[in-house]
Structure 1
Amino acid sequence: MISLNLNAVRAKQAESDHIAAAMADFWGRSGGNYKELPPARMKPIPARRDWVDPETILKRKPRPLTLAERRALRKMADSL
């Protein structure tokens, strides 16, 4: 793409040359060798559940019997 503002390009040229020199220095010190690694596979964190519907909890785990209900059930079992 052609830049309409050549002053901006010329202003960045010094910075670009400095970065290119630093890269050449780095590659020169490391021997120019690099090892390509496989990309990191990120597992997304599941959405946080701040609120759970009370009916869902009751469907999953029924409430335990109260003392009165256990006594009534015991009376019914004894009467059989």
Structure 2
Amino acid sequence: MISNLKYDIEFRREKALELSSQVEQHLAAGGRFSRSEPANINPEPVERSKNIDPGTILKRCRPAISAAERKALRKLAEAL
């Protein structure tokens, strides 16, 4: 079975050879490579603030309808 990635491998072979020759030149000139910590791909989420604005709490919750308002609404609905 022929790999689906064969074309991709052949396509990138020239770049890989160029990169390996650059690495060889760097090492031949006395250059060195150092290993570092891997990059954090999925960073930790930002911590939420502990402060709560009282105004936002009031905006989020609507006050419940009182019994008197319920009765008035029932009367209006019956009148229709």
Classify the TM-score, shorter chain. 0.3 to 0.5
TM-score by length of 2: 0.38
If you compute each CA radius of gyration, which structure gives the higher value, 1 or 2? 1
TM-score by length of 1: 0.38
